Amino acid sequence: MSGMRSMAEVAAFLRAPLLALAVAAFGIGTTEFVIMDLLPEVAADLRVGLPAAGLLVSGYALGVAFGGPLLAMLFLRVPARSTLVGLMGLFVAGNLGCALAPTYGLLMSARIVTALCHAAFFGTGAVMAARLAPTGRSARAIALMISGLTIANVVGVPLGTFIGQAAGWRTTFLAVAGIGALALLGLVRFLPSIDTTRDFKAEILALKAPSVWLTLAASTLASTSMFAFFTYVTPILTRVAGIAEALVGFVLLAVGIGLTVGNYLGARLADWRAGPSLVAVLICVALVLLAFAGFGRTPWAASVIVTPWGVVAFAICAITQAMVVAAAREAPNLASTVNISAFNLGNALGAGVSAAALSAGLGLPAIPLLAAAVAGLAVVASLVSVSVTPFRSGRSKRKK
């Protein structure tokens, strides 16, 4: 009995650091996306136009995409536990800076500081989560951390928007800083000091592996496809499918739940057979988008199709993250961070591709087809990646 009790205690202890990582991810996801719903309030308070306020979104995305790997390299010689604690401290400071910023320029600077934590935290956190997991469950541990990001879209962003509209946008960032402080306490209390190789030269050399870059290409293209559609999903649902504006929120809530389900589905597939699963899921993404383009012009059909799209579109994140960690297994921290940056680069590219298509006069009905075409390119990249990497599953990988 005492042996069983001790095993249960160990299992509970291992869940605690993963939950602390998930709370941190919840805060990061909330601060990234809630600004989009508060742009009118921010613009009015700081006396800038909406286009200038919109750059706060772009500035954050660029900070994640390009600043994250640089910050990760600076932390390579620092133990993983100390890195995560330090990054979360910087995250709290950045959000406090957002809440207190008296000018647009200082708000932008605080947003960029916060963005720097994003990729580096998720990259290092994914490696830590994988190391904490039992054999064959590394991807599920990564997914538990990433679940904070998906839950942020379902709960954190709507709640943060409500707080911002009721008590001012600065209050929202104060609340997010409080979430970050709670996560920081959890990391300090529960995150163990485990052996994580963080040799600078080894991390750089790990990026030379073709399987890493092919997976990064698939990740970028998958994210481009996702945000090519997701960026304009609201006008597509209202203007193309004819869903009443009062009901769009309920449809998007279902999509958010689909994202959360997809995160766990991707984790289980990654722990089973990651490479073939990536190919299969990307094919499903393309097929669902084609189905939406063909049949999503009525409210009921669009509502039915868009939720499975959320499931398969976000299942990719856990799979590619697990594959990158495995492909760069001797020194995975920098590669893991670069994959988060690649995903965010795809966010920006997806929005840009769709905007360019609309500017060219293609119209909203063409967006699902465009996203499906990009998903097709991701299928090709994933097929090539699977052909050159030995990674099959979390279980088989650990046996080697």
Short-list 126, 130, 150, 146, CA closest to 138? 130
Instruction: Please give the DSSP secondary-structure letter assigned to residue 147.
Output: H
1-194 and 197-400: same fold? yes
Amino acid at residue number 379: V
Residue written as tokens 């080697």?
Answer: 400
Residue 52, pLDDT > 90, answer no
What confidence score (pLDDT) does residue 135 get? 73
DSSP string covering 56-99, please?
Answer: HHHHHHHIIIIIHHHHHHHTTTS-HHHHHHHHHHHHHHHHHHHH
The C-alpha angle with vertex 22 and arms to 94 and 232, in degrees rounded to 5, equals: 75
280-306: pLDDT as tens digits:
999 999 999 999 999 999 999 999 999
Q: Considering the domain 197-400 in this protein, what is its CATH number?
A: 1.20.1250.20
DSSP string covering 122-144, please?
Answer: HHHHHHHHHHHSPTT-HHHHHHH
What ranges in 168-209 are assigned the alpha helix state H? 169-190, 200-206
d(CA 326, CA 228) in angstroms, rounded, equals 28
Q: Which residue has the higher pLDDT, 268 or 36?
A: 268
Short-list 173, 201, 193, CA closest to 76? 201
Per domain, the residue ranges of the chain are 1-194, 197-400
146-195: pLDDT as tens digits:
888 888 888 888 899 889 988 999 999 999 999 999 999 999 999 987 75
Among 45-54, 112-121, 220-229, which stretch is predicted with the lowest mean pLDDT?
A: 45-54
| Contacts for 386 with CB less than 8 Å, ≥ 6 apart | 275, 276, 278, 279
CATH topology classification for 1-194:
Growth Hormone; Chain: A; (1.20.1250)
Tell me the pLDDT band of 13, cut-offs 50, 70 and 90: very low
d(CA 147, CA 28) in angstroms, rounded, equals 12
